Amino acid sequence: MNSETNRKLPGVGASEGVAVGPIFVHAPGELEPERKEIPAEEVEGEIGRFREAAAAVVKSLGETRKRLGDAGNEDEAAIFEAHAELAEDPELYSGVEERVRNLESPEAAVISVGEEFAAIFAGMEDEYMAARADDVRDVASQIAAELMGHGASGLATLDTPSVILARSLAPSDTARIPKGIALAFVTAEGSATSHVSIMARSMGIPAVVGVGPKLEEAFGAVTAAVEGGEGYAVADPDPETVAEFGRKQQRMEQERSALEEYRHTEARTGEGRRIEVSANLGSAEEAEDALSWGAEGVGLFRTEFLFMERPELPSEEEQYQVYRKVAEIFGVKPVIIRTLDVGGDKNLPGVDQPEEENPFLGWRGIRMCLDTPDLFKPQLRAILRAAAHGNVKMMFPMIVDAREVRRAKEIFEECRRELDEEGVETGPVEVGIMVETPAAALGAAEIAGEVSFFSIGTNDLVQYTLAADRGNERLRRLQSADHPSVLKLIQETCRAAQEAGIWVGVCGEAAADPALIPKLVELGVTELSMSAPSIPRAKKAVSEI
């Protein structure tokens, strides 16, 4: 550190709260395979060694999952369950074994294949799916470390409550930290939806991610103050800053106590107008946790995780079981399932996808589904079957006009007729669309006659309206739904919905922003959907309107 008393480290606020304490730097070296090649006569033995290492990692992950589950930490347990599934993925096995048969060492092969898979996830537009790149790297690294006989990191032996600084932190890293020892996380990499952020929120500790290379300047500091809500840390804070953080912590504890009363109450404005506050889910394992935060339904259930990194598409039965599970957990509360929203950024097995200059403006979402009924129909059939077990609704992504909606509905009704003829039980399903393209907002009056609801995806609506890539840090000032042009499109959407007698929800980041919630409600939004921990504060914001 230089002579400056304070060194501010701005990043992304990933988990609310403040903390001040000594620094522990987690800086493991990059895994470097001890050998890159093997002789031909060792191929079968090395494949066996890889399988044993993968099995050992699966067992370890399973034990961690059980320990967390038994302790009631279902959100964290679900992460390790997903990692165990990744460690058993047939495509991972086949990729590694093919490389080993080409005389590459198994440790080098598993790192290379892990990076290939991680690159696919990292290139996805959906922030939740892009954040899964770290999970793939973590699992591959664990298998490689097992092959090379590496032990646990220094995090396992940490015995002083500390602020942990690291380039990145994988779930396997955070699981090694003794209970109560981590005061806060500050990482150079990561996003609000990466698993270090999820783990921090689950552990109830502050976290700042995405600090970038500047974090390394703080590695020589002694203490750090972390502000997880505003998204910054201060290295070697002076006494005045420490006192300020102490006052912040006291205020936050008072606010947290006050928010408890909103967790399981209905959200109503001061005039009594009812606003439904729901959760965005990325998998069925998150459902119970969402209910515990007071979710009044699921405003967005992403189905992409079912299709990721596998040698074949998920069957109708597999999809049905997942959708049914969520529907049953929520009972009479609505569960809105978004149909598949992937495109040229992700290769799907059995789907002939072209290479595109800009896949996010290409053949994706409803466009791909309408052109590939073999991909679309099993999902629609699974949704119809799951609707017999709860209050299931469905919405189509990337819609630009009413013609697309009518075509999608025709295929949907075709699936219902087929199931009726087969004697398979189905349930009623309201159909809506994601309003995430300016075209859909401008054409909302015509589209409204075809659907039962609109759900505004503000993340994409902002990026398409302002021509600003939502992943570009330099364009952060252009990534707000508060921009007048975006608000005009939201207003146009709400006006068209009111005239047609249908409701409007918001399932983008704006839905959880207390500063934006009053504007959205004023424009006519009646449902807000967000990450589960944000629900109590959103309900409070509604009550203060």
Quick: pLDDT tens for 132-190.
Answer: 777 787 788 778 877 776 554 567 667 789 999 988 887 667 777 877 889 999 998 88
Mean pLDDT taken over the chain: 86
Taking CA atoms, 517 is separated from 214, 277, 481, 526, 537, in Å, by 34, 11, 11, 10, 11
Which residue out of 26, 83, 195, 389 is catalytically annotated?
195
- 166 has which bridge partners? 26, 187
Least confident range from 40-49, 348-357, 423-432, 509-518: namely 348-357
Q: Which of 18-32, 330-344, 470-484 has the highest mean pLDDT?
A: 330-344
What is the pLDDT at residue 346?
58
- How far the first Cα of the chain sits from its last, in Å, is 46
Tell me whether strands 182-187 and 162-166 are parallel, antiparallel or unpaired: parallel
Only one residue has tokens 């690291």, namely 166
Count of CB atoms situated within 10 Å of the CB of 198: 25
> Quick one: tokens of 13?
């606020």
Cβ distance 486 to 442 under 8 Å?
Answer: no
pLDDT band at residue 37, thresholds of 50, 70 and 90?
Answer: confident
For the question of residue 507 being annotated catalytic, the response is yes
- 13 has which bridge partners? 208
pLDDT > 70? residue 303:
yes
DSSP 11-34: -EEEE--EEEEEEEEE-PPPP--S
Taking CA atoms, 338 is separated from 305, 311, 428, 455, 513, in Å, by 12, 23, 16, 10, 22
C-alpha to C-alpha distance for 308 and 342, rounded to whole angstroms: 10
- Which CATH number does 265-543 carry? 3.20.20.60
Q: Which residues, 6+ apart, have CB-to-CB distance to 216 below 8 Å? A: 188
Domain boundaries, the chain: 7-28+153-238, 40-148, 265-543
> Quick one: tokens of 306?
């079912």
What's the distance, CA 328 to chain centroid?
22
Q: Which amino acid is at 289?
A: D
> Quick one: tokens of 141?
């690294």
> Quick one: tokens of 411?
């295929």
Single out the residue of 138, 121, 170, 160 nearest to residue 308, CA to CA: 121
DSSP 178-227: PTT-EEEEEESS--TTSHHHHHHHHHT--EEE---GGGGGGTT-SEEEEE
pLDDT > 70? residue 28:
no
Cβ distance 492 to 486 under 8 Å?
Answer: no
C-alpha to C-alpha distance for 178 and 185, rounded to whole angstroms: 14
Which helix (H) or strand (E) element contains residue 431? Answer: strand 430-435
Class of CATH domain 40-148: mainly alpha
- Which CATH number does 7-28+153-238 carry? 3.50.30.10
Which residue out of 369, 415, 494, 507 is catalytically annotated?
507
pLDDT band at residue 465, thresholds of 50, 70 and 90?
Answer: very high
What is the pLDDT at residue 29?
54
Q: Which of 42-51, 306-315, 467-476, 515-524 has the highest mean pLDDT?
A: 515-524
Tell me whether strands 232-235 and 7-10 are parallel, antiparallel or unpaired: antiparallel
Cβ-in-10-Å burial (0-12, 13-18, 19+) of 362 comes to: middle
Single out the residue of 128, 249, 141 nearest to residue 195, CA to CA: 128
Residue of 427 and 70 predicted with greater confidence: 427
- 506 has which bridge partners? 456, 528
Q: Supply the DSSP symbol for 124.
A: -
Only one residue has tokens 């500050």, namely 186
List pLDDT tens digits, range 208-244. Answer: 998 988 898 888 899 999 999 889 999 999 999 999 9
Percent of the chain at pLDDT above 70?
87
